[in-house]
């Protein structure tokens, strides 16, 4: 589509580092509030500078220059930025927030900026290690200790401004150890600084037009940065200048509100799609987000209020009725979205509806019903859930079979997450090697995968990947789960502990005899049989074998 059809001018430019960062420092280039917050990890910061020094492309930036005034962030990275001056044109960052925040908060960092052992401080102090570096090709480092870094650590805040660079060169000469060649290190630092200062950044500047025009252009531009997600796209396109919270703000608030209950962080994408479903939309998976935004613009604030209330009901149902203790264990985002849709239309379900929803959850989880679900399937599910909320019909898919017992423990598998939810309910009163009660959900909340420790660690043993080779069992430092199990004293005590974890006595005898594979096979058979018995209570059957733990996190 031609640019004039948008009533917006598209101007590609090539800019040097200081030409990009200067307007940020003057308040003339700003990050609109509908952008997602800074989410890069510390290693991504280092990799960005490594790419710049090597001359690799880091992707183009997309700015929108307009006379409109949008609510914008008052910090870039962790540094404050001034308000724009009156009557001056302002540009807004549509694509490149993460990269710009990294560049601005590190290269423009004041000398007196806070340093500490906290990641929120040290992550903004990257260094280029000068001289020979043996451990890996990337010479960029973070210094996490409280004391100053070695003299040959060039702080990136010193590379743009000559005064700061000279100050570093003097400090290097003063603090250099006898084995350091100061002249060679200084020359290397000059080369690094010159490469960063002279690095050319591709910028696409959109001039005039509306916010909808600008975001429409963005949606059609290929970018090597992290693309704007649908939730952010709709948030931008429905942005109001009246001071109301943006859709992105509301989604973040709902995520935080649920997390504060102890349930953990739920998927903001699932909430976003629930908001769309609450507005009456059926196509919540994909489509022309600009068209959708126009349809739902006037409904979003009310829909966000309604979604917030329905979401709370959905979480209570999952936690108290189904027995899902943590958000990270929900097998599919679609389940949370659909339950929120149901509770919007029916906040007080009757007993039949509650039983049906519980059956629906387990059947869809075990059968992989939403694995790779397409747009048509999700549309149909939303429509069925709305009808069911009116106490009409059912929602549980019929003529489906459960996936077999998973062959490996992988938290990215919905089948494994369903197994964990069942297993936490099947063995609620667990004991450690001293007979103390274990709170498995608390341990799981601290670290999902690491909570389930291997019993047998043996490379090359295929069965070692099985969930039957995992336990939630804290042990003494440098003590394995296996040795803890083998050292349990007294037959009655040992039986009590083993039963609390679903370890049959005949399996334990094989472990004591050194038959590791047979131990896993016996415990796996027992767990699978007990899980199938639970499945049968919902009218679901499964094969008795073992199958792949498909990775299906959608």
For the stretch 20-52, pLDDT in tens is 999 999 999 999 877 777 888 899 999 999 999
The predicted pLDDT at position 133 comes to: 67
Tokens of 365: 């989880």
**CA gap 390, 488 in Å, rounded:** 55
Q: Between residues 414 and 268, which one has the greater pLDDT? A: 414
In the predicted structure, residue 7 carries a pLDDT above the cut 90: no
Q: Between residues 530 and 242, which one has the greater pLDDT? A: 530
The predicted pLDDT at position 281 comes to: 85
For range 168-191, the mean pLDDT = 94
For range 291-299, the mean pLDDT = 66
Tokens of 487: 């050292």
Q: 513 in helix, strand or coil? A: coil
Out of 42-56, 460-474, 538-552, pick the least confident: 538-552
Give the pLDDT band (50/70/90) at residue 456: very high
Are 141 and 126 within 8 A, CB to CB? yes
Closest CA to 197 of 159, 158, 154: 159
In the predicted structure, residue 311 carries a pLDDT above the cut 90: yes
Angle between helices 351-367 and 375-389 (to 10 degrees): 160
Tokens of 305: 């209020």
Q: What is the mean pLDDT of the chain?
A: 87
Which positions ≥6 away from 315 have C-beta within 8 Å?
258, 261, 263, 266, 327
End-to-end distance of the chain based on CA atoms, in angstroms? 33
High-pLDDT (> 90) share of the chain, %? 59
The predicted pLDDT at position 462 comes to: 84
Beta-strand pair 405-406/546-547: parallel
The predicted pLDDT at position 224 comes to: 40
In the predicted structure, residue 115 carries a pLDDT above the cut 70: yes
High-pLDDT (> 70) share of the chain, %? 88
Out of 63-72, 197-206, 222-231, 537-546, pick the least confident: 222-231
């Amino acid at each position: 589509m031609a640019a004039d059809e948008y009533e917006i001018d598209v101007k590609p430019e090539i800019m040097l580092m200081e030409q990009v960062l200067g307007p940020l420092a003057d308040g003339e280039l700003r990050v609109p509030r509908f952008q997602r917050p800074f989410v890069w990890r510390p290693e991504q910061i280092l990799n960005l500078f490594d790419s710049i020094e090597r001359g690799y492309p880091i992707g183009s930036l997309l700015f929108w220059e307009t006379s409109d005034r949008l609510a914008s962030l008052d910090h870039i990275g962790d540094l404050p930025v001034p308000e724009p001056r009156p009557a001056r044109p302002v540009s807004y960052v549509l694509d490149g927030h993460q990269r710009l925040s990294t560049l601005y908060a590190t290269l423009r960092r004041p000398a007196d900026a806070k340093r500490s052992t906290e990641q929120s401080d040290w992550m903004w102090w990257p260094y280029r290690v000068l001289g020979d570096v043996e451990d890996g090709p990337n010479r960029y480092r973070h210094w996490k200790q409280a004391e100053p870094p070695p003299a040959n650590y060039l702080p990136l805040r010193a590379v743009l401004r000559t005064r700061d660079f000279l100050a570093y060169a003097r400090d290097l000469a003063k603090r250099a150890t006898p084995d350091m060649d100061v002249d060679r290190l200084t020359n290397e630092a000059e080369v690094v600084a010159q490469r960063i200062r002279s690095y050319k950044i591709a910028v696409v500047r959109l001039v005039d037009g509306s916010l909808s025009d600008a975001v429409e252009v963005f949606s059609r531009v290929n970018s090597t940065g992290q693309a704007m997600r649908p939730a952010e796209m709709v948030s931008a396109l429905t942005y109001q200048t009246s001071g109301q919270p943006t859709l992105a703000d509301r989604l973040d608030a709902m995520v935080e509100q649920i997390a504060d209950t102890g349930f953990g962080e739920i998927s903001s994408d699932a909430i976003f799609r629930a908001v769309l479903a609450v507005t009456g939309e059926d196509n919540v998976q994909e489509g022309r987000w600009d068209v959708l935004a126009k349809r739902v613009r006037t409904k979003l604030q009310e829909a966000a209020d309604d979604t917030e209330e329905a979401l709370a009901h959905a979480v209570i149902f999952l936690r108290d009725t189904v027995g899902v203790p943590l958000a990270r264990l929900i097998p599919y985002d679609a389940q949370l979205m659909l339950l929120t849709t149901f509770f919007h239309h029916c906040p007080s379900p009757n007993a039949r509806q509650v039983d049906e929803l519980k059956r629906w959850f387990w059947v869809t989880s075990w059968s992989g019903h939403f694995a790779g679900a397409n747009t048509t399937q999700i549309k149909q599910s939303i429509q069925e859930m709305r009808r069911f909320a009116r106490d009409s019909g059912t929602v549980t898919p019929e003529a489906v079979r459960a996936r077999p017992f998973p062959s490996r423990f992988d938290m990215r598998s919905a089948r494994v997450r369903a197994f964990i939810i069942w297993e936490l309910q099947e063995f609620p009163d667990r004991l450690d090697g001293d007979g103390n009660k274990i709170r498995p959900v608390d341990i799981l909340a601290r670290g999902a995968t690491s909570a389930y420790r291997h019993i047998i660690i043996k490379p090359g043993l295929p069965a070692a990947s099985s969930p039957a080779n995992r336990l939630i069992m804290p042990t003494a430092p440098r003590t394995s789960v296996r040795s803890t199990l083998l050292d349990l004293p007294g037959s009655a005590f040992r039986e009590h502990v083993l039963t609390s974890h679903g370890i049959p006595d005949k399996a334990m005898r094989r472990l004591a005899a050194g038959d590791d594979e047979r131990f896993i096979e016996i415990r796996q058979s027992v767990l699978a049989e007990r899980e199938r018995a639970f499945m049968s209570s919902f009218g679901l059957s499964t094969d008795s074998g073992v199958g792949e733990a498909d990775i299906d996190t959608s």
